[in-house]
A and B are shown apart, each in its own frame.
Chain A
Amino acid sequence: MSGSLRCLRAVLRPLPGWAVRPLCQAAPGSGPPAGGEGEGSREAVERLVRAHPVVVFMKGNPAQPQCGFSNAVVQILRLHGVSDYRAHDVLQDPNLRQGVKNYSNWPTIPQVYLNGEFVGGCDILLQMHQNGDLVEELKKLGIRSALLDEEKNQDKK
């Protein structure tokens, strides 16, 4: 607990001296300003993340991811046999792209939600895959990871 408090303090402390001028104002990641309405509103994003046990916001779609990080998320889910999930392509909707970042207070895409709860982006899902947490989290949703069956088959051999 003290760890989280320390973290909170660090987060709240104002960061001194941002001196470097952004080199690239039109960076591909900087979308239009957040709109309070429509697809990007907090309510709209909330509806989307609660609409299905597994929801992914990504660049491109699962058949044709447009970003290596989004692709990694799709491939990890595929490894676990998770084929039933909602994927939203943020490249199709700048309001949604910004809205989902605001919703989770997370600056990057892809974003993965399990049972309406934000779990992280590509790095975190990859580490959850590697340390076994993903199998456990899927189990909580009533989804049996295909990797478990694969292990069983290997044991039989």
Chain B
Amino acid sequence: MLPARLLPLLRAPLQLLPRLASSTPMAGEKPVEASIRSKLQRELEPTHLEVRNESHQHAVPPGAETHFKVVIASSRFAGLPLLQRHRLVNEILQAELAGPVHALSIHAKTPEQWDQNASMSPSPACLGGSREKGRGLRKEQDVGRTVLIALD
């Protein structure tokens, strides 16, 4: 079971990431992340855009670009139900999703919604499904805690 005192440590690196509203690639940004950022920037003209590579939380090699979370505030989402907002993002990132990207978590808000509530749920922890069979499954207590984190 994950000690409670470790939780802030898990969140800390995410909060330290700069919030970017421009398409300028970050220094050392990798190709898939840069491509996701520039496509979302171009197609959605967001007032707020975060592209987080969360691959390190999963059972993939170091430096992988497989698991991403995107946080987007764009007026293009106005009037669209959640499902259609997500479909729009999926379409824009179709090539990435058909290729290197294995998981994409989407937070799609209008600028007004973003101003009201600029928070989001952390991504759930990996349970090892992409590892070899029989390896990496966590204890049940961990699973419970993971969801508490995801839902709070």
Contact = CB atoms under 8 A, between A and B. Distances in A.
A124 to B, nearest CB: 5
Given A6-B76, A72-B150, A66 B129 contact: yes
Q: Residue among A2, A66, A130 with the most chain B CB within 10 A?
A: A66
Interface string B76-88: 1011101110111
A15 B92 contact: yes
Contact of A29 (B87, B103, B126, B147): B103
Given A10-B76, A107-B97, A119 B83 contact: yes
Band of interface residues on A? 35 or more
Contact of A108 (B79, B84, B91, B104): B104
A141 B83 CA distance: 19
Interface string A84-113: 000000010000000000000111100000
Interface string A123-134: 110111110000
Band of interface residues on B? 35 or more
Contacts of A66: 127-129, 137
A15 B90 CA distance: 12
Q: Residue among A6, A20, A76, A123 with the most chain B CB within 10 A?
A: A20
Interface of B: 31-32, 34-35, 39, 43, 60, 64-66, 76, 78-80, 82-84, 86-88, 90-92, 94-107, 121, 123-130, 137, 143-144, 146-147, 150-151
